[in-house]
Amino acid sequence: MKRAIRKAATSLALIVIVAMGARIAFAWEQARKIPPGVLGIVPFQQETGNIAYALAQGKGFSNVFRTNTGPTAWLAPVYPLLVAAMFKLFGVFTARAFFACVALNILFSSAACVPIFHAGKRIGGLGVASGAAWLWAFFPNAIVMPFEWIWDTSLSALLAAMVLWAALAIAESEQLRDWCGYGLLWGFALMTNPALGILLPFLAGWAAYRGRGEGRVRWKRAALAGSVAILCCVPWTVRNYAVFHRLIPLRSNLPFELWLGNNDIFDEHARNGRKSITRTEESRTYTRLGETAYMHEKWELATSFVKTHPGLELRLTGKRIVAFWMGIESPVKNFRETDSLLARGILLTSFFTAVGALLGIAGLCRKRLSMTFPLGVFPVIFPCLYYVTHADLRYRHPIDPVVCLLTALAVAQFSTFAGTRPGAASSEDIVPPRTTPSC
């Protein structure tokens, strides 16, 4: 019986099936509360839905505010193209198209169990692998996100987990074919969510540093992977240059995102300051100026605000750090005031996994394991983009699979420590005895 339970608990296929079931159950429960007409329209009232609508209408990658404003580079192309395909197959702004997009998101989110399982197995053995995968399977954010956001969020989480798993594996390979494949994976990730690109030099550099062979050869492999990734993005970059007559490697919206979190709304002493930001007003400004001038204006406003409000900027950065890891700026207040068990569950699991990630990194550092660096760059480097712009729950989600893996490592390390006390069970009874391979 114990053997059967252990086999089931460490079965990757079972974990993926359960993860998919949990996400489908949540989506079904939520969808039956909302009229089909609403499901077909409201979830697409954002940039992804607007661009996908233009693509489905044969107008190209354009009309980010759903008005006839022309070409855009606001987003990277992969996910809007997927949504446009769903519009073509199931109808534009229909409930069927919405459910097709949710099904894709559920598939992406559930599939993230696979790279996390294999990365965990490589780092800490079967116990860590299954623990991380089960945690991701029942992670509230991962269950909620595929239904709540028709965005690249769930696909980005899968890709982030895959680039970690691939980095751990590629460090042991001397085959140029494998490094080219790693570059192709990164190319697809960059064309889906360019924010992941901040991790590329760290992961590829680590894989080259820890790899086999002479130093010059190792770095040539990393350069090859990086070159392949860049080549994947060249057609899109050329398109952007041809349309906007300036270099836009992947997407153009960084000035807007920077301004969104750094503007006079946050300064209560600002004269004639705006009290709120509305989509209607921004759409009018965008239409009047065009995308290039609009982004230039937002960049000037944001950078001027940062320079002239250093004290306020420091406080805003602190709030953004909290919002990135907890989903909101005032988690304690919201936990007390909300009567939603789901909201409280999300707040609690966000907090405990954030702490778990910190403890997991600390444990890896204490043991001086080579895997510390590639795991640590996810919670340390990736959030920096959002600490300076703006943050909420979905911006953390791409690194949540790795955060779950670090939390599972922290639990395993604690169990091992507890098992070494006199009279306690041995660590072999709690954590698989496999040691971390040196890559």
pLDDT tens-digit profile of 247-261? 999 999 999 999 999
Spell out the domain ranges in the chain.
2-418
Query: Looking at residue 193, what is its pLDDT?
Result: 97
Stretch 50-76: mean pLDDT, rounded?
A: 94
Provide the pLDDT for residue 101: 97
State the average pLDDT over residues 175-192: 95
Does pLDDT of 429 surpass 70? Answer: no
Whether pLDDT at 420 is above 70: no
Q: What is the 3-state secondary structure (H, E, C) of the chain?
A: CHHHHHHHHCCHHHHHHHHHHHHHHHHHHHHCCCCHHHHCCHHHCCHHHHHHHHHHCCCCCECCCCCCCCECCCCCCHHHHHHHHHHHHHCCCCHHHHHHHHHHHHHHHHHCHHHHHHHHHHHHCHHHHHHHHHHHHCCHHHHHHHHHCCCCHHHHHHHHHHHHHHHHHHCCCCCHHHHHHHHHHHHHHHHHCHHHHHHHHHHHHHHHHHCCCCHHHHHHHHHHHHHHHHHHHHHHHHHHHHHHCCCCCCCCCHHHHHHHHCCHHHCCCCCCCCCCCCHHHHHHHHHHHCHHHHHHHHHHHHHHHHHHCHHHHHHHHHHHHHHHHHCCCCHHHHHHHCCCHHHHHHHHHHHHHHHHHHHHHHHHHHHCCCCHHHHHHHHHHCCHHHHCCCCCHHHHHHHHHHHHHHHHHHHHHHHHHHHCCCCCCCHHHCCCCCCCCCC
Pick the residue with more confidence: 173 or 294? 294
Where does the pLDDT of residue 421 fall: very low under 50, low under 70, confident under 90, or very high at 90 and above? very low
Report whether pLDDT(160) > 90. Answer: yes
pLDDT at 337 over 70: yes
Is pLDDT above 80 for 423?
Answer: no
Query: Is the pLDDT confidence value at 245 over 90?
Result: yes
Least confident piece of the model among 193-197, 306-310, 370-374, 379-383: 370-374
Looking at residues 133-143, what average pLDDT do you find? 96
Report yes or no on whether pTM surpasses 0.85: yes
Q: What is the pLDDT of residues 351-377, one digit of tens each?
A: 999 999 999 999 988 887 788 999 999
The answer to which of 136-140, 309-313, 425-429 has the lowest mean pLDDT is: 425-429
Q: Is the pLDDT of residue 385 over 70?
A: yes
Mean pLDDT estimate for the chain? 90
pLDDT of 304 reads 94
pLDDT at 436: 36
